[in-house]
Structure 1
Amino acid sequence: MIMAAKKFDLVIFGASGFTGQFVVDEVCKVAEEENLTWAVAGRNMTKLQKVLNEASNRTDKNLLETPIIIADTSSKSSLEEMAKQAKIVLNCVGPYRFFGEPVVKACIEYGAHHLDISGEPQYLETMQLLYHTKAKENNVLIIGATGFDSVPAESGIMYLQDKFKSGQLTNVESFLSIQTGPAGGAINFATYESAVYGLSNAKELVSLRKSLYSEPMPKVQHRLPKRSGLFFSEEVRKWCLPFMGSDKSVVYRTIRSHFSGGVLKSPIEFFPYMCMSSLFSALKFVMFGVIFNFLCHSSVGRWLLLKFPHILTMGAVKKGGPSREQIDGTSFTMTFVGRGFDSLESMSNGDKPDRQITARLTAPELGYVTTPICMVQCAAIVLKEKDQMQYKSGVLTPGAAFFGTSLIQRLDQHNVKIETVSDSKV
């Protein structure tokens, strides 16, 4: 590893992208709170200057003198120059399956920690397979999924683990509910593009996981009853479907880390779901999912999905991303239902789980408000609390990296709040 003097605590790579501009706003605010130095990076000077000018207007701060680094994923030397100057690179350039690896390699080689907001299991697990050992050797943290994918899910499970600290959490179900205002919601094209390629290459995960994990984890002793594909949840009083994001993949990597590291006495079972506003909405979503899945598995279908996203998603995907009005009118909740043992004695006796805790996380719009909050607070912990982190290097999930840190408290102070709804014996 080549070490160099670090000019900046944080460098936002891809600052001129749709998500990157919101990360700029959040870094501006937190840098002042935490007394951090920072810069923006990307491939186009004019666009980066425009972002800083617009961010100055939004934040009422003069950001025009903010340092700019020119870096491009197609230029190895430019990525290396960026990594030399950064303590942490906040990587906002996706889809990560195409553009993520060169940035990770440069960061490991030049001693910069790397955080991204990927929700792409193939990319995240490939980085762990290829670079975990090298990152540990170079004392570098590579932490993926530090946005909505999958910090809220990881935080909910960490919260429940703390509530079961005298016993053992064994099962968790999460229920995501998104609320939109009169203007509705929209998905940015880059997020949609990642989903298209992720689903079309989902079979990669089978062989990838065999290479990543030579031994299976022990089975959960007390499994939850299997849910149907579409069901009515008594816990949240809504129709629900399996959540197809990366939360399950990321959380199970965390569970494996905690089990092998002795944090858990036994593995945790986790199932994420998404809530629908009505049975009719759920059926429409299922129909769209079938068509989307079919199109993803052929080259012609992928071309259609990527060429005409606005039409094929009935307006849900916009190449310019959601409007400010849509962002401001959107929020979400995640309800976590955790079951487990109140004491290790009852677990060792072979009894059934005897305690159930329900917690609820509430937060603003998920992709462009909550995601920057999560990413920047994760970065702040790496800068301020690295000595207290259980794992100080390697390719990690948020749940493995930030277990035992102030992440939940920090999120609470920045409008991502979690609280106990009920706690009862069962």
Structure 2
Amino acid sequence: MASKKFDLVIFGATGFTGQYVVDEVSRVEQQITWAIAGRNMAKLQKVLQEASSRTGKNLEEIPIIIADTSSKPSLDDMAKQARVVLNCVGPYRFYGEPVVKACIEHGAHHLDISGEPQYLETMQLLYDKKAKENNVLVIGAAGFDSIPAEAGVMYLQDKFEKGRLTGIESYLSMQHGPQGVGINFATYESAVHGISHAKELISLRKSLYSEPMPKVENKLPKRPKLFFSEEVKKWCLPFMGSDKSVVYRTIRNHLASGVMKSPVEFFPYICLPSYFSAIKFILFGLIFNFMSQFSFGRWLLLKFPQLFTLGYVRKGGPTKAQINSTTFTMTFVGHGFDSTESTTASEKPNRQVTVRLTAPEPGYVTTSTCLVQCALIILKESGSMRHSSGVLTPGAAFFGTSLLQRLCQLNIKIETVSDSVDAKP
């Protein structure tokens, strides 16, 4: 890739998330060459003008590449010029595969911020072998989905280095100002289509994995669907995002490569401030799931997002005030043993480590930070990466690199809250 013209190309720079990625790349102090790409020259020029105003840097001379997911020649031209493509064009179910294919064919590493399990796992099934043949990395879920979850798992793996980690529970809690939380329309759209096609995952995973995940001997107690967590003092429900599927793909990779000696359970939850809030969330989920099963229901959900989400989603994206006032916390509770000695299935883990990750608004601020730092590791630290090619999760690709340290030097903080032996899960 030494002959590549640009270290990074931001594809989809005119999108709401893409503009945050442009700002984030412009702040990188390391010497890199970069360009932006998209369909419309005037809009791309406007992005650079506005980014110059926001960052105080002259970005109007940054090169522009015209590329469109419906035009293979344009994607080929973009991939030929890039060492790493940062793909911000979603929903990836509809627009992701052509970009992945062009990157693999022309030797450009590909990073995206998808939280869509069907897309992520389909890319692994279809393109892992070809990516390895062409020495290309294809890494999805490199934003809020699912770098924070992967970071928590990495951190706990290190804490249990001299013992044995058997199970992790994660608790996602959002904090926001009076303006409320704003959700990206593309994320919402991806969720609508993901739920409507959720059954695809059954056959997809049978094709992707010939063997089932090895069973964990020392299992965590089973939680009810709705429960009050003593760890975070909030009501909790299963988190329906892609974190669980991404982390389990990482665990499979770690088992195959010898990073992990035994499997680990992972259960993600979302926290609600009260029992009443949890009931409202459940009712919304039931309605959302039902409507997503029918074409007319999907049309209504996508046509009137503000109505069906009580204003949390709107096509223009969240307001600046909403973004600036939003933060999130992920609490990870790791269960395991303080030694590597073998145990029986009936033995309860005797060590519990609680870790807390805090970060700014997830969909744009944290996502852009994570995406750009992942790209910099590929550019600057390829020698420390365990894999040089293939379709991978962030946890598999960046385990053993400086990713955690990089994130902690910026606006993401991760720390140990407690570490006790003889704790009961």
Q: Contact 1:377/1:410 (CA < 8 Å) preserved in 2? A: yes
Partner amino acid for 2:182?
A
- Find the counterpart in structure 2 of residue 21 from structure 1: 19
- Find the counterpart in structure 2 of residue 218 from structure 1: 214
Q: Contact 2:218/2:347 (CA < 8 Å) preserved in 1? A: no
- The CA distance in 2 between the partners of 1:223 and 1:349, in whole Å, is 8
* Map 1:394-409 → 2, pairs under 5 A: 394-409=390-405
Shift of 1:5: 2.2
- The CA distance in 1 between the partners of 2:212 and 2:30, in whole Å, is 42
* Map 1:21-420 → 2, pairs under 5 A: 21-30=19-28, 33-347=29-343, 351-420=347-416
Shift of 1:349: 10
Shift of 1:183: 1.3
1:102-146 alpha-carbon deviations (Å, 9 max, x no partner): 000000000000000000000000000000000000000000000
- The CA distance in 1 between the partners of 2:419 and 2:411, in whole Å, is 24
| Number of residue equivalences | 422
Partner amino acid for 1:372?
S
SS of 2:299's equivalent in the other structure is helix
- The CA distance in 1 between the partners of 2:345 and 2:174, in whole Å, is 41
Partner amino acid for 1:118?
S
Misfit runs of 4+, over 4 Å: 346-351
Q: Which runs of 5+ in 2 are unaligned?
A: none
SS of 2:341's equivalent in the other structure is helix
Q: Contact 1:341/1:347 (CA < 8 Å) preserved in 2? A: no
Q: Contact 1:71/1:82 (CA < 8 Å) preserved in 2? A: yes
Aligned residues: percent identity?
Answer: 74
Q: Contact 2:182/2:313 (CA < 8 Å) preserved in 1? A: yes
TM-score for both structures, normalised by structure 1: 0.98
SS of 1:344's equivalent in the other structure is coil
Shift of 1:348: 7.8
1:363-390 alpha-carbon deviations (Å, 9 max, x no partner): 0000010000000000011111111111
- The CA distance in 1 between the partners of 2:171 and 2:244, in whole Å, is 12
1:158-188 alpha-carbon deviations (Å, 9 max, x no partner): 0000000011111000000000012111112
Partner amino acid for 1:218?
P
Q: Contact 1:42/1:72 (CA < 8 Å) preserved in 2? A: yes
SS of 2:388's equivalent in the other structure is coil
Q: Contact 1:347/1:353 (CA < 8 Å) preserved in 2? A: no
SS of 1:375's equivalent in the other structure is helix
What is the aligned-residue RMSD (CA, Å)?
A: 1.1
Shift of 1:351: 4.4
- The CA distance in 1 between the partners of 2:345 and 2:391, in whole Å, is 37
Q: Contact 2:217/2:345 (CA < 8 Å) preserved in 1? A: no
**1:8 corresponds to which of 3, 6, 9:** 6
- The CA distance in 1 between the partners of 2:336 and 2:67, in whole Å, is 48
Q: Contact 1:5/1:84 (CA < 8 Å) preserved in 2? A: no
Partner amino acid for 1:336?
F
- The CA distance in 1 between the partners of 2:288 and 2:404, in whole Å, is 35
Shift of 1:100: 0.2
1:271-325 alpha-carbon deviations (Å, 9 max, x no partner): 0000001111111000000000000001111111111111111111110111111
Shift of 1:353: 1.7
- The CA distance in 2 between the partners of 1:34 and 1:400, in whole Å, is 25
Shift of 1:342: 1.2
- The CA distance in 1 between the partners of 2:420 and 2:225, in whole Å, is 28
Shift of 1:341: 1.4
- The CA distance in 2 between the partners of 1:76 and 1:365, in whole Å, is 34
Q: 1:7 to 1:282 in 2, by over 3 A?
A: same
SS of 2:27's equivalent in the other structure is helix
Q: Which runs of 5+ in 1 are unaligned?
A: none
- The CA distance in 1 between the partners of 2:381 and 2:228, in whole Å, is 42
Shift of 1:217: 2.0
SS of 2:89's equivalent in the other structure is coil
SS of 1:99's equivalent in the other structure is helix
Q: Contact 1:167/1:342 (CA < 8 Å) preserved in 2? A: yes
SS of 2:144's equivalent in the other structure is coil
- The CA distance in 1 between the partners of 2:376 and 2:205, in whole Å, is 31
- The CA distance in 2 between the partners of 1:218 and 1:69, in whole Å, is 46
Partner amino acid for 1:204?
E
- The CA distance in 2 between the partners of 1:169 and 1:157, in whole Å, is 10
